[in-house]
Structure 1
Amino acid sequence: MDRKHGIALIGLGRIAKFSHFRNILCHPKLVLKYVVEKETAMASNFIRQYREDIEVVPPSDLQTVLEDKSVDATFICTTADSHEEYIKASLNAGKAVFCEKPLTTDEASTQSCYAEAKKRDCYCFVVSIDVSTLQFAVFIAVYKKEK
């Protein structure tokens, strides 16, 4: 299958800018559709150095992003205290989830996220800045979850 899988990157902090963002852009089977970032001007300025076709939206527009059928997965790169909210919203929309570590700030929240993923028959992965880990995880999870 030649289809590229759509990704929404949620959060564009230091590690997201210099690792995850670039790794997603370089992956031959992925296309970055959206960046969800509260500092939209900063995100737009950064992204325009690489591509013109990535839409930058504020967190208040997350639901619109999640309703976009061209988005197959979200990559969450926000502060740990917001991970659970973004994970559950993504899973509820039927998206595969890749989240920077830690997944959540406590064990109960982590278990709740994994239970939601199981209930929704979606993938929920914790990833690090290791390029090979990211590319492998994204490739396997999205391809095994064709909708």
Structure 2
Amino acid sequence: MNMEMRPLAYYAHSFMRQDNQIEVPIPYTIMGFELPIFISFDDIYEFINLQEISANCILVYMRYLEELCRINGQAEKFVFVSPTLISPVRIDTEDAGMRDRADSLVSFLRDTPKGRLYLVPHNRGRHWVLGVIDP
């Protein structure tokens, strides 16, 4: 296990039960709407052990990146797009919903200001990729 992950593993093992969750507020400034998300014991262990992680883990990471951008005066350069906007909810229905997700993304980008990069995490099965869109 990576040395930086040990405090997180210690916290999860010592203070969380299997059914506990940590609430992480996702502020309006990140995606244009407020969204409380919940990270579970299982989410933490999947992350620490480099297993497949959930969209909630990606959202927490996006919150962290947005905070770093804000601290460094770069918040106006990036827009974070929710992974739930385009990633399939269920893999077995991926093809059926592909058009709907593409339409959602186009609608989201239609009236966007120029000069910003849109960071779009997407899950194609068991692997997350980050798309960067420069309209």
Q: TM-score range by the shorter chain?
A: 0.3 to 0.5
- The normalised TM-score by structure 1 is 0.31
The TM-score, its normalising length taken from structure 2, stands at 0.33
Q: Which fold has the larger relative contact order, with Cα–Cα distance below 8 Å and residues 6 or more apart in sequence? A: 1
Structure showing greater radius of gyration is 2
